[in-house]
């Protein structure tokens, strides 16, 4: 018996039949004596349709008004689920972002939660009501409707769970947990029983699109246990929790692969102070996120400057780089979209050396050339030619012992 937050994604509420299934699951949890707060996404495809409609109005729709439009998606599913539960004789009540006092900053389209006044939801829970909240939405201090960005309902769920001090936040989705790597690439991928917040953060930012990264940051900050599981089965999924001593026994917990990467190199840049800023300032001003940066020394007061950007921003970044190259007198600009970033992640790395060496050796044994390297405390990433990416994932998965149960 406890206070449980259950979040259901777009595919879990894609039609009325699935909403009925969600209602049954919520009802069962409630009948077991738990208090339940449900957070919903919009029906799969609805948000995209609304964005498409807005883009028919104008190429760059006003962001405030776009949020007013998008917020209808979650409002619809919240009303429908509450209605369904009511028809099953459960005292359910829907609540919208502004009603639940989900206060955000004013960054329409990508707002950050500043505060959640837990009282409205707590009051409903104390009446033994099943609370059905529209995810993804909040309001700023002036009462304007805001949305939290792609996957924002995850963040709604974890933030609500933190605010009302829920015992657990269950994220129901169309996969049944977090895997050691992408099962489509590596058939030997295994579902993890547990993963630490930090590992999940690295996984999320590297393309394992199960949880919005901000939701994991929230979970870590407020120590909310998150259970990622399938809405189509009763199987246990993966617990995302605080780091545990046992986790450190494993050197590497998972292998990820991000193909949405492109590399840009400026050749023979004059090696003068301030030259890096001249290159990277205009790129970041264009809102393009630079991931890795490498600077190679050359002879004769010149250097090569290489960086990676998301593949979707490649064209724009190339145009900027070519302009900058002319301005600073670099020789030429080379671009390559056929790259991928392969990473190994694990909290165990903190206390063990040799992971990087083992990674490089494993890739070398398959003749996979490493183009760029970057590391964090619990991650090592190598950029390789895209066509070798899947092979790299499989051999690393095996080399670090993740194939075995």
Contacts with its own copies, residue ranges (CB under 8 A): 16, 19-20, 50, 53-54, 56-58, 60-62, 64-66, 68-69, 71-72, 75-76, 78-80, 82-84, 86-87, 93-94, 96, 98-99, 143, 145
Nearest distance, CB of residue 214 and its own copies, angstroms: 24
Residue with tokens 């004596």: 33
Q: Which is nearer to its own copies, 69 or 279 (CB)?
A: 69
In 3-state terms, what secondary structure has residue 266?
A: strand
Residue (84 or 215) nearer to its own copies, CB: 84
- Whether the CB-CB separation of 373 and 402 falls below 8 Å is answered with no
CA distances from 212 to 202, 203, 341 (A): 12, 11, 20
Rounded to an integer, what is the distance from CA 333 to the centroid of its chain? 32
Task: Report in angstroms the alpha-carbon separations of 200 from 216, 238, 253.
Answer: 7, 11, 10
Helix (H, G, I), strand (E, B) or coil at 372: strand
Q: How many other C-beta atoms lie within 10 A of the C-beta of residue 221? A: 12
Q: How far is the CB of 232 from its own copies (least distance, A)?
A: 20
Strands 226-230 and 293-297: unpaired
Of 88 and 319, nearer to its own copies (C-beta) is 88
Give least dist CB 31 to its own copies, A. 19
- Rounded to a whole number of angstroms, the minimum distance from the CB of residue 98 to its own copies is 7
Other CB atoms within 10 Å distance of the CB of residue 341: 25
**Minimum distance between the CB of residue 55 and its own copies, rounded to whole angstroms?**
10
CB-nearer residue toward its own copies: 80 or 201: 80
In whole angstroms, how close is the CB of 105 to its own copies at the nearest point?
18
Both structure tokens of 145: 């409707």
Nearer to its own copies (CB atom), residue 75 or residue 212? 75
Give how far the C-alpha of residue 204 lies from the chain's centroid of Cα atoms, to the nearest Å.
4
Angle at the Cα of 264 from the Cα atoms of 287 and 327, rounded to 5 degrees:
75
Given a contact cutoff of 8 angstroms between Cβ atoms, the answer to whether 197 and 220 are in contact is yes
Shortest Å, Cβ 69 to its own copies:
4
Which DSSP symbol is given to 117? -
Residue 13 Cβ vs its own copies, minimum distance, rounded to whole Å: 12
DSSP per-residue codes, 334-369: EEEEEEEEEEEE-GGGGG---HHHHHHHHHHHTTPP
Which residue, 71 or 330, is less far from its own copies as judged by CB?
71
Q: ∠ CA 46-42-144 to the nearest 5 degrees?
A: 100
Shortest Cβ distance from residue 59 to its own copies (Å)? 8
- Which of residues 58 and 353 has its CB atom nearest to its own copies in the complex? 58
Query: Of the two residues 81 and 251, which places its CB atom closer to its own copies in the complex?
Result: 81
CA distances for 243 relative to 165, 299, 350, 383, angstroms: 20, 46, 12, 28
Helical ranges in 206-259 per DSSP H: 213-222
Q: Work out how close the CB of 89 gets to its own copies at its nearest, in angstroms, rounded to a whole number.
A: 11
Enumerate the β-bridge partners of residue 36.
4
Sequence-distant (6+) residues with CB within 8 A of 49 are: none
Considering the complex, state which of residue 46 and residue 164 has its C-beta at the smaller distance from its own copies: 46
* Closer Cβ to its own copies, 44 or 79, answer by number: 79
């Amino acid at each position: 018996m406890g206070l449980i937050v259950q979040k259901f994604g777009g595919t879990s509420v894609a039609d009325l039949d699935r909403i009925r299934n969600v209602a049954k699951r919520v009802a069962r949890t409630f009948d077991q004596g738990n208090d339940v707060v449900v957070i919903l996404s919009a029906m799969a495809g609805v948000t995209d349709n609304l964005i498409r409609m807005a883009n028919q109005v104008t190429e760059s729709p006003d962001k405030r008004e776009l949020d007013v439009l998008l917020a209808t998606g979650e409002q619809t599913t919240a009303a429908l689920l509450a209605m369904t539960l009511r028809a099953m004789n459960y005292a359910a009540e829907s609540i919208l972002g502004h009603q639940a006092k989900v206060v955000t900053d004013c960054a329409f389209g990508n707002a950050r939660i500043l505060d959640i006044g837990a009282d409205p939801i707590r009051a409903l829970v104390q009446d033994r009501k099943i609370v059905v909240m529209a995810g993804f939405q909040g309001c700023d201090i002036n009462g304007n409707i805001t949305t939290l960005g792609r996957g924002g309902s995850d963040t709604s769920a974890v933030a609500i769970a933190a605010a009302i001090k829920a015992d657990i936040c269950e994220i129901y989705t169309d996969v049944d947990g977090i895997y050691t790597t992408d099962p489509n690439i590596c058939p030997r991928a295994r579902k993890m029983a547990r993963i630490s917040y930090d590992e999940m953060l690295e996984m999320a930012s590297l393309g394992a699109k199960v949880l919005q990264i901000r939701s994991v940051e929230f979970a870590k900050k407020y120590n909310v246990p998150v259970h990622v599981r399938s809405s189509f089965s009763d199987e246990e999924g993966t617990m995302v929790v605080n780091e545990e001593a046992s986790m450190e026994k494993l050197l590497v917990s998972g292998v990820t692969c991000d193909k949405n990467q492109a590399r840009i190199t400026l050749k023979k840049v004059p090696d003068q102070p301030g030259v890096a800023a001249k290159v990277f300032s205009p790129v970041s001003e264009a809102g393009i996120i630079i991931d890795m940066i490498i600077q190679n020394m050359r002879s004769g007061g010149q250097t090569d400057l290489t960086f990676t950007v998301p593949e979707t921003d490649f064209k724009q970044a190339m145009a900027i780089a070519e302009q900058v190259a002319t301005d600073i007198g670099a020789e030429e600009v080379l671009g390559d979209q056929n790259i991928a970033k392969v990473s190994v992640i694990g909290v165990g790395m903190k206390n063990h050396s040799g992971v990087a060496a083992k990674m490089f050796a494993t890739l070398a044994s398959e003749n996979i050339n490493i183009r760029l390297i970057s590391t964090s405390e619990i991650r090592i990433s190598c950029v390789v030619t895209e066509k070798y990416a899947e092979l790299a994932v499989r051999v690393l998965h095996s080399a670090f012992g993740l194939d075995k149960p």
